[in-house]
């Protein structure tokens, strides 16, 4: 047993990508089986279903969540086949939520390509999302473990709750930081936590290890979403994989917005009220939002918070055997943070 593994400071985002590639390489055979299962379970005699689902599943995603399930399982010493189907289940849940989210958010880009709703329409996207949820639950039932079903069904419900809560606080600058964190813990971190906790469950490890992997995934997921929210105001569109400034145009309440709003003078706060709460925006407003964020270090503060959650994720790995999978899971934290650099 070892102490906390320190993820080395990779510096550039490209090195962060290498950190994820190391874990992906370690589980390459498992991931290939998972991908084959995903393709198999997307099949339907209704032609539009596999066509639309394949558009999103094959559009360049890194399979981060299923890779985490596979890596956590192997770190815990699991050598059986169950983790492959459960990783596919995690990816189906994630993909279903992406289809639904893009409809709710009226997004036109996903991973740098036209979103499914932009190509196929809102109704098919919602219905195919439902189909993928059903496929996920079929995989859970086939696994047959009640704890697995509890973890994944709870995560699916929490994801939906997080999205609904985000709708409730949207455009409301009276939102507290605690409420914002509750949203991202629900809509992002809950599935990360489920994905990693499954590793301890399939390996029949003690509850303390399941809790530690839950903590790792949860903190990693929060860090991941904080970086995403920061990048919406700081990244180039090609790097972000969606239209930069989407959160601003939709009036989403994120930590960079809250930081800039609370640090701003009265005239600046009036700008945020007009653009976020009242949704009265012109073509120059996003540039002004970026300027105000730079003035008050709002993006930098958000990245600093992400790094703190990343450190918490690393500490959660302290009690696990010192093996290549543990090192790779630690390095994934650096991948998540490095996207902001």
Residue 18 has pLDDT above 80, yes or no: no
Please tell me the pTM assigned to this model.
0.90
Please report whether residue 215 resides in a domain.
yes
Indicate the range of 49-53, 88-92, 127-131, 157-161 predicted with least confidence: 49-53
User: Which residues, other chains included, contact 309 with Cβ-Cβ below 8 Å and sequence gap of 6+?
Assistant: 219, 220, 222, 223, 226
Q: What percent of the chain has pLDDT over 90?
A: 70
Total tally of structural domains belonging to the chain? 1
Q: What is the pLDDT of residue 2?
A: 42
Q: Tens digit of pLDDT for each residue in 246-290?
A: 899 989 999 999 999 999 999 999 999 999 999 999 999 999 999
Please report whether residue 8 resides in a domain.
no
Are the CB atoms for 49 and 92 separated by under 8 Å? no
Q: What is the pLDDT of residue 280?
A: 96
Q: What is the pLDDT of residue 16?
A: 54
Q: What is the pLDDT of residue 291?
A: 96
Please report whether residue 5 resides in a domain.
no
Helices (H), the chain: 13-26, 28-41, 48-57, 64-75, 82-105, 116-120, 122-143, 146-169, 177-184, 190-202, 207-234, 237-240, 246-249, 255-263, 266-272, 285-296, 298-315, 324-338
- Eight-class DSSP state of 204: T
When pLDDT is cut at 50, 70 and 90, the band that residue 10 belongs to is very low
Are the CB atoms for 149 and 155 separated by under 8 Å? no
Domain that includes residue 194, residue range: 13-336
Residue 121 has pLDDT above 80, yes or no: no
Residue 131 has pLDDT above 90, yes or no: yes
Are the CB atoms for 19 and 334 separated by under 8 Å? yes
Q: Is the dihedral of CA 124, 127, 130, 135 positive or negative?
A: negative
Please report whether residue 7 resides in a domain.
no
* Domain CATH number, residue 87: 1.10.600.10
Q: Tens digit of pLDDT for each residue in 198-244?
A: 999 999 999 999 999 999 999 999 999 999 999 999 866 545 555 68
Q: What is the pLDDT of residue 287?
A: 95
Tell me which of 334 and 102 has the higher pLDDT. 334
Q: How far is residue 296's CA from residue 312's CA, in Å, rounded to a whole number?
A: 26
Q: What percent of the chain has pLDDT over 70?
A: 86
Please report whether residue 308 resides in a domain.
yes
């Amino acid at each position: 047993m070892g102490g906390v593994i320190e993820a080395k400071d990779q510096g550039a985002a490209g090195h962060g990508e290498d950190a994820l590639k190391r874990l992906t390489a370690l589980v390459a055979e498992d991931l290939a089986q998972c991908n084959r299962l995903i393709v198999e379970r997307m099949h339907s005699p209704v032609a539009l279903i596999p066509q639309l689902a394949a558009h999103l599943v094959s559009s360049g995603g890194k399979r981060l969540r299923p890779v985490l399930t596979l890596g956590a399982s192997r770190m815990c010493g699991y050598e059986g086949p169950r983790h492959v189907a459960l990783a596919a289940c995690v990816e189906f849940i994630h993909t279903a939520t992406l289809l639904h989210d893009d409809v709710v958010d009226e997004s036109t880009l996903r991973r740098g390509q036209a979103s499914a709703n932009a190509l196929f329409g809102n109704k098919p996207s919602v219905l195919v999302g439902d189909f993928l949820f059903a496929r996920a639950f079929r995989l859970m039932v086939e696994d047959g473990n009640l704890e697995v079903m509890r973890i994944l069904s709870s995560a699916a419900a929490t994801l939906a709750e997080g999205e609904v809560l985000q709708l409730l606080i949207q455009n409301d600058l009276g939102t507290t930081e605690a409420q914002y964190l509750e949203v991202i813990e629900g809509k992002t971190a809950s599935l990360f936590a489920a994905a990693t906790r499954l590793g301890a469950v399939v390996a029949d490890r003690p509850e303390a290890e399941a809790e530690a992997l839950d903590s790792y995934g949860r903190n990693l997921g929060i860090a991941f979403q904080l970086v995403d929210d920061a990048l919406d105001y700081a990244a180039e569109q090609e790097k972000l994989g969606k239209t930069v400034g989407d959160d601003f145009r939709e009036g989403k309440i994120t930590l960079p917005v809250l930081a800039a709003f609370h640090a701003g003078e009265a005239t600046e706060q009036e700008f945020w009220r007009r653009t976020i709460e009242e949704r009265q925006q012109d073509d120059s407003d996003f540039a002004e939002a970026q300027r105000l964020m730079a003035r008050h270090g709002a993006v930098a503060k958000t990245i600093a918070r992400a790094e703190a959650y990343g450190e918490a994720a690393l500490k959660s790995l302290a009690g696990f055997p010192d093996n290549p999978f543990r090192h790779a899971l630690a390095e994934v934290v650096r991948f998540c943070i490095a996207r902001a650099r």
